[in-house]
């Protein structure tokens, strides 16, 4: 089935921050070609007082300002009703490729970019909005996070990539990290490309890459390997590799 255009709705206090990075390279091309559409709203446009205020002091005291629920609420209600909305926040579940894949199956997403100390909690409760983190660190605003989320989604949409089959071998597929890549020249600074890659033997190359994936994952992200589905011969290799590592 041919995918329709993916609609990305972004609520931000800094609309000029979009599409910037996403207007370049493949994401930019996809935007021009209608693979996805970007709808950016300035939250400040929904402020009704003379000063166009969007934030206020936190009840209970403390440093920083909080984004007002009335202003943000109007911005949220301006979006189409069926758009699943997420708030970029360090408190959310860190984004994973499996979730990106399920986002990419949707036709739209709405992203709220916070600023200051964040948004009034009642907005999340009232609209049932989930929080989405891009990692365990704190950014100054949700806009960079929105770029990350959208970039990850859009590249999985039909029409984005010339060779969509290259997606099936990437990191996090089957909970494995990707194998190493090499290109010409065959010898660089006295370092040679692994011989098997020059052999032209497709089955052996496939096997070598799969084993390298396992080795790299075991070394860097053993947590992923715990949940990867490995075949019998892979398990044998894993045992051997673990033994070597223990020496
Ligand atoms: N006071 C908040 C806390 O400690 O959880 C941090 C607020 S941060 C300075 C301002 C905004 O940046 C947040 O409202 C959120 O939208 C965004 N942000 C910061 N870190 C993020 C992360 N790791 N993932 C996604 N968004 C983030």
Taking CA atoms, 185 is separated from 73, 181, 198, 202, in Å, by: 57, 13, 12, 20
Are residues 178 and 239 located together in one domain of the fold? yes
Which of 17, 68, 88 has most ligand 1 atoms within 8 Å of its beta carbon, as the pocket-test mutant? Answer: 88
Which of 118, 134, 137 has most ligand 1 atoms within 8 Å of its beta carbon, as the pocket-test mutant? Answer: 118
Cα–ligand 1 centroid distance for 95 (angstroms): 14
pLDDT beyond 80 at 21: yes
| Residue 77 lies inside a defined structural domain of this protein | yes
| Residue 159 lies inside a defined structural domain of this protein | no
What are the pLDDT digits (tens) for 58-106?
A: 999 999 999 999 999 999 999 999 999 999 999 999 999 999 999 999 9
The verdict on the CB of residue 94 being under 6 Å from ligand 1 is no
Please give the residue range of the domain that contains residue 183.
171-246
What are the pLDDT digits (tens) for 107-120?
A: 999 999 999 999 99
Q: For residue 145, give the CATH number of its domain.
A: 3.40.1280.10
- Sign for the CA dihedral angle at 205, 206, 211, 214 comes to positive
Q: For the chain, give the longest Cα–Cα distance.
A: 72
The DSSP code for 64 is S
The verdict on the CB of residue 187 being under 6 Å from ligand 1 is no
Length of the chain: 247
| Residue 163 lies inside a defined structural domain of this protein | no
User: Ligand 1, closest atom to CA 116?
Assistant: 10
Are residues 46 and 120 located together in one domain of the fold? yes
Are residues 129 and 196 located together in one domain of the fold? no
Give the 3-state secondary structure of residue 147: helix
The verdict on the CB of residue 95 being under 6 Å from ligand 1 is no
Are residues 107 and 198 located together in one domain of the fold? no
| Residue 102 lies inside a defined structural domain of this protein | yes
What CA–CA distance (Å, rounded) separates 126 from 123? 5
**pTM score above 0.85:** yes
Percent of the chain with pLDDT over 90: 83
Q: For residue 210, give the CATH number of its domain.
A: 1.10.1270.20
Task: Please give the pLDDT value at position 58.
Answer: 98
């Amino acid at each position: 089935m041919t995918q329709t255009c993916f609609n990305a709705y972004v609520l931000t206090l800094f609309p000029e921050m979009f599409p910037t990075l996403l207007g370049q390279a493949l994401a930019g091309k996809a935007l021009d070609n209608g693979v996805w559409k970007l709808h950016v709203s300035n939250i400040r446009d929904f402020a009704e007082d003379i000063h166009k205020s969007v934030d206020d002091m936190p009840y209970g005291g403390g440093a920083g300002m909080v984004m007002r629920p009335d202003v943000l609420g109007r911005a949220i209600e301006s979006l189409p009703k069926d758009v699943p909305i997420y708030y970029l926040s360090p408190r959310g579940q860190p984004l994973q490729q499996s979730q990106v894949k399920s986002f990419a199956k949707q036709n739209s997403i709405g992203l709220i970019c916070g600023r200051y100390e964040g948004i009034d909690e009642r907005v999340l409760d009232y609209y049932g909005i989930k929080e989405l983190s891009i990692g365990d660190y704190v950014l100054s605003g949700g806009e960079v996070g929105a770029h990350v989320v959208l970039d990850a989604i859009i590249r999985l949409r039909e029409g984005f990539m010339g060779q969509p089959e290259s997606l099936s071998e990437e990191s996090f597929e089957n909970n494995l990290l990707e194998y190493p890549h090499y290109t010409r020249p065959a010898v660089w600074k006295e370092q040679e490309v692994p011989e098997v890659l020059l052999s032209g033997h497709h089955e052996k190359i496939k096997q070598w890459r799969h084993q390298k994936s396992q080795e790299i994952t075991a070394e860097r992200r053993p947590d992923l390997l715990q949940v990867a589905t490995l075949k019998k011969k892979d398990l044998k290799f894993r045992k051997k590799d673990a033994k070597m590592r223990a020496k």
